[in-house]
Amino acid sequence: MLTYFDHLLSYHLSLVWAILLHRSREAGSGKMLKVMALGWALFLLTLVCSMVSATEDLNSAGYRVIEINELADGSGIAAHLKLISGCATYGPDLEDLRLIARYEEGGRVHVHITDAFRPRWEIPDSLIPRDRVQHVSVGQSTASIQVSESSFTLAHESYAISSHPLKIIWTKDPFSFAIIRRSNGEILFNTLPEAEGSPHAFNSMVFKDQYLEISTRLPQNSYLYGLGESTSPDGMRLSQGRTYTLWATDIGSWNVDMPLYSMYPFVLDMRKGGTAHGVLLLNSNGMDVEYKKGDSLTFRVIGGVFDFYFFAGPSPMAVVDQYTRLVGRPAPMPYWSLGFHQSRYGYKDIGELETVMAKYEAINFPVESIWSDIDHMDGYRDFTLHPDHYPEERVRSFVKGLHERDQKFVMIIDPGIKIDENYATFTRGRELGVYLKNGTGDGYYIAQVWPGFTHIPDFLHPNALDWWTKELEEFQKTVPYDGLWLDMNEPANFCGGSNCWYDPAVKCTIIDVCCMTCDNHPDVLTRWDNPPYAINGYANKLPIYKNTVAMTAEHYDGSRIYDTHNIYGMTEALATYNALKKISKKRPFVLSRSCFVGSGSHSAHWTGDNGATWTDMKYSIANLLNSGLFGVPMVGADICGFYFETNEELCQRWSQVGAFYPFARSHSDIHTGPQEIYLWKSVTETASNVFNWRYRLLPFFYTLLYEAHQSGAPVARPLFFEYPEDAETWTIDTQFLLGSSILVSPVLERGETSVHAYFPKGIWYNLFDTSKMIRAVDHGVWEHLPAPMDTINVHIRQGSIIPMQDFAMTTTAARKTPFSLLVVFAPASDFAEFCAAPYSIVCQGSDREYATGHIFLDDDIQPTMDITERRASHIKLEASRTDGHYVLRSIVTQPDYAIDQGLVIKTVSVLGVQSQPFSVRVNGRLAAAHVKVTASASLMEISELNLPLGEEFELIWNTMPNGSSSHSS
C-alpha cells in the first residue's frame, strides 16, 4: 500500500544506485566493490521502506496508561494515555490521549479515544443525537479501580454494571482493551497484540492526526457481515483476506468490490451456537478495514477519533435493535411508498409521461407513482421546469390528474446549485451564505455537475434548513410533488481536487466531462486531498477527491469536507425530511442515494445505478439485506436494471423478485432502450400476477414497517436473523425473508426453470398454491423446486398469521378493502417465547399448536408510527389448535381508528385442514347463516364473517364432533 511519496523515494534511491554503480566501473574494481556495497545498502533501504508501507508495520509500541479516574456516575472510567514510542510513517503520533470507557443502557458498551488536549472532528449531535463523552463528569477517586502492573478494572461494580451483558477489561502497559460476554466469558473484541514474533501479531494502537489504526483478534468461528456499501461478488458474508474500503463514491453499483454511495462502519459478528454481537466505529472519515484470514480485523482510518460502540445481542435481531436505538430508528414511510413506482432517465417531455401512464392503465397494471429524473429541469437547475418540454401548466394538470386517481409524483433533486445571477435559488442561498467555502482561498467552492459550474450547499450551516425549506416550498407551489429523490449527493463532482478554476464564458460541450482546469500534481495538493495514507478508493488507490468535492472545501465553522464527505448525503436527506415535514404537515418520503449510519431515520435508499445483468439481480439481494442490517430497511434495486440493455427473460425474472423488495421501482438509463412492464407480454403477465400479490400483502408489508420503526427490525431479512442457531443459513443470500413469515426464493440465473432453495426447520406452504408444502421436520433441508418462467417460489412459515386485503389499482383503494387472514399453525415448542407475559398465549400441553400475527393501521400522516388515540390501531392476532378444536382471537389497542375506517375481517383461511367445521362460533354465539365454510385438501376457509377489525373477537370452530384430530400438518 505505497503512497506517491513512497514510490518517489524508491525511484530516487534506485536511480542513485544505478549512477554510483556506473561510475564505479570507470574508477576500478576496488572502488566498485565499495560502491556496490553502498548500492546494496541503498537497495535494502528501498526494500525496507517499501515493506514498511506495504505492510503498515508502524513499529509503534503504542500507549501506556498513566492516570485513571472513575466516572462520577460509576458507569466506567476515564484514563490518560501516554505515547510509549512511535514512528514517522504517516506523520507524528499524538503524545497524549484521553480514554472514556463506560457501560450504557440497552446492552451497549462505549469506548471513546481522542486527543487529550485538542478537539478533533466528530459526527455532530444534530445528525446522530447521543450522550457525548465530552459531557461526562469525571470523579477524583480511584478507590474502586483495581490496578496492577499489567491491567486495571473496576473492583466494585455497581449492580447496573454487574448485570450488564458485557464486560470491559483493560491492560495498562501497553494499553489495550477487550470486550467480554459475561454469560460465557467469550471475548468479543480484543485489541491486545500477541507476543513479539507471533505469526498472528498485529500493531499496537496507532493514533496520528491523519492515520488511526486499531486491530481486534478474531476466533476461527466468526462470521462477519456489514462494512458497506459495496457490491460484493462474495455475497453478504465478509470474506477473509479482503480489505473493505469505506468511502462514498459516485460510481455505478454494477462495479464490484468498490466502495459505493454510502458508508456504514458497522460489523455484525456471528459466533458458534448462533450468538451475535455488533461493533460500530462511529467515525465518518475514510477507512480501510482489513479482514485477515482467520486472524484479525484491522481498522485504518484517515482522521477523526476512535468512537466504538459494542452491542451485546445475543441474537442478530437484538443487535440491530441496540444499534438502531443509538443511531436512530427507521423512519415511518407513507403507505403509498409500498406501491409500484415507474421511473426512467430519458422521459424527454411531459407527453411521454402521459403516454407511459396511459399504457400502464391499458394493461390494468397498478402504478402507484411516476418519477421525474433531471429531464424536467430547465438547464438542469433544481426547482425548475423546462419551458418547452415540461411547461408548468401542463405539468400541473398532469399531477392533478394523478392525484385524482390516487397516484403520486416524485421528483429528483441534485445538490449542485448553478452559479447564475438570474437563478433565484442560487441568489437566495448566497444571501444566506449557505454554500461550502473554498478552503484554499476566499469565496465559495466551485464544482461542476449537470447544470455546469455550481456551488454546493452546506447543510450543516445554521441557515441551510430555512433556505432549503423555502426552495422546496416554492417548488411545491409550482408542482405539488409527493416525494423527493436525492441523487448525486456523495456529493458528486465531474471535476476533482482543490486546485480547479473555470472560465465563466466556457460552454461545456459534454456536460458530464470536466470543463474546468485542474492542477492536481502532488507538489501542489494539500495533505487533505493527498493524505499520508491512501485508502483503496475505486479499488486502485485513486485520489479521494476523485469525482467529488475537494477535501479542502470548508463548512461555515471551518470543518473540512475531508472529515464530512461521508455524511454529506445524510445532511441533505435530513434537511429535506425536516423541510417536507414542515411544508406538508404529512409524513415525508425521501429517497437518498448516499447514506450513513442513522440515515434510515429519515430516508429510504436504493442500491444505485445497477446493471441490467443476471449477476446484478443476484447481487441485489445481498445489497438490500445489508441495507436492512445498517438500519435502512426501506430499500430496493432498480427492477430490470439501470445500465445496459435489459431483455425479456431478465425483466420477467426481475419483476418477480422485485415485487417482494421493500421498495419496488423500475428505473432505466437514457442511453438504453425503455423497459416498462407493458413492453413484453410475458413480463406483463408475470408482473401483473406477482404485484397483485404484493398489493394484497400491503397490510403485512406496512406492519413490517411498523416493526422496523419500533425496533429496527429489517423488512427483508437474511435467514440467519430468524434461525441464528442453524449455521446453514449463515451464508445464504440468494433467498430472503419478509419479516419472520414469508420466504422468497427467486430464480437468479438465465435459462433456469428450477431453484435450489433452503428451508429451515418447520413446515412451509407455497403462497400461490397452498396444497404444496415443504416439510423440514427435524432440521433444515435443501429442495429443488420447479420454477417455470412465470413463477417465483414464495412460502409461508408455520406459526404465522398473515394479514391481507383485496387487490386494487392503488394503495389508497386497496387499504379500504376487507381484510383476510391466512393462518398457519406450528407446534407449541416453536412458541416458547410467547407462552408467558407480556403475551396472552398460555401454552398448555405438547399437543397444542399456535399461530400469531399482528396488524398496524394508522392515518399515514403522523410523523411517527405510534399507537395513538383515533389516529392508529394495533390488532394482535393469536390462534391455537388442540386436536379438532380451533380458537382465533384478537386483542385491540386503540380501536377507534380501525372502527372509524369501517374496516372488517371478511375471511379466515387455515392451512393444513382437510375437513369442514361442524360448528363455528363468533364471540360465544353460533355464526350467522350468511357465514360460508369451505374446505379443500389443504385449506379450510370461513368467509363472509365481516368482523369489525377494531372490535376484539373470538372465533371458535370444531372440525370433528368428538374433537379428534382431522388435520394433515
CATH classification of the domain holding 257: 2.60.40.1760
Query: What pLDDT score was predicted for residue 223?
Result: 96
Q: What is the pLDDT of residues 333-385, one digit of tens each?
A: 999 999 999 999 999 999 999 999 999 999 999 999 999 999 999 999 999 99
Same-domain status, 287 and 409: no
pLDDT for 49 beyond 80: no
Confidence of residue 967 (pLDDT cuts 50, 70, 90): very low
Q: What is the pLDDT of residues 104-154, one digit of tens each?
A: 999 999 999 999 999 999 999 999 999 888 777 787 655 566 766 566 676
Q: Tell me the pTM.
A: 0.92
Q: Helices in 744-823 by DSSP H: which ranges?
A: 811-814
d(CA 750, CA 805): 34
Same-domain status, 347 and 288: no
Question: Per the domain annotation, does 773 fall within a domain?
Answer: no
Query: What pLDDT score was predicted for residue 294?
Result: 73
Confidence of residue 44 (pLDDT cuts 50, 70, 90): very low
CATH code (residue 551): 3.20.20.80
Same-domain status, 211 and 181: yes
Query: What pLDDT score was predicted for residue 13?
Result: 36
Q: What are phi and psi of 761, to 5 degrees?
A: -50, 135
Residue 609 known to be catalytic = yes
Same-domain status, 311 and 393: no
Residue 769 known to be catalytic = no
Class of residue 125 by CB neighbours under 10 A (exposed 0-12, middle 13-18, buried 19+): exposed
pLDDT for 238 beyond 60: yes
The whole domain housing 944 covers: 818-962
Same-domain status, 209 and 277: yes
Q: Is the peptide bond before 314 cis (omega within 30 degrees of 0)?
A: yes
d(CA 558, CA 554): 5
Q: Count up the domains in the chain and report the number.
A: 3
Three cell numbers, residue 72: 462520577
Same-domain status, 112 and 184: yes
Mean pLDDT, residues 621-631 = 98
Query: Of the candidates 560, 576, 606, which is a domain's last residue?
Result: 606
pLDDT for 842 beyond 70: no
Confidence of residue 514 (pLDDT cuts 50, 70, 90): very high
Three cell numbers, residue 151: 491491567
Percent of the chain whose predicted confidence (pLDDT) is above 90 = 80
CA distances from 779 to 759, 782, 825 (A): 9, 10, 18
Same-domain status, 276 and 396: no
d(CA 693, CA 742): 12
Confidence of residue 965 (pLDDT cuts 50, 70, 90): very low
563, 609, 638, 707: the catalytic one is 609
Query: Of the candidates 550, 584, 606, which is a domain's last residue?
Result: 606
Query: What pLDDT score was predicted for residue 136?
Result: 77
Please identify which residue in the block is written with the cell numbers 396444497: 771
375, 382, 487, 849: the catalytic one is 487
pLDDT for 882 beyond 60: yes
Question: Per the domain annotation, does 468 fall within a domain?
Answer: yes
CA distances from 11 to 8, 42, 43, 715, 801 (A): 5, 11, 11, 54, 69
Question: Per the domain annotation, does 428 fall within a domain?
Answer: yes
Closest CA to 925 of 966, 944, 953: 953
Q: Helices in 712-743 by DSSP H: which ranges?
A: 719-722
Query: What pLDDT score was predicted for residue 164?
Result: 96
Same-domain status, 250 and 345: no
Question: Per the domain annotation, does 707 fall within a domain?
Answer: no
d(CA 956, CA 969): 19
Same-domain status, 351 and 447: yes
Three cell numbers, residue 502: 473555470
490, 529, 616, 849: the catalytic one is 490
**What end-to-end distance do the CA atoms of the chain give, in Å?**
59
Same-domain status, 433 and 550: yes
Task: Detail the DSSP E strand segments found in 628-676.
Answer: 635-636, 664-666
CATH code (residue 941): 2.60.40.1180
Same-domain status, 347 and 240: no
Question: Per the domain annotation, does 549 fall within a domain?
Answer: yes
Residue 749 known to be catalytic = no
d(CA 71, CA 734): 48
Mean pLDDT, residues 903-909 = 98
Three cell numbers, residue 830: 416453536
Same-domain status, 396 and 292: no
Query: Of the candidates 569, 587, 606, which is a domain's last residue?
Result: 606
pLDDT for 27 beyond 70: no
d(CA 469, CA 582): 8
Question: Per the domain annotation, does 236 fall within a domain?
Answer: yes
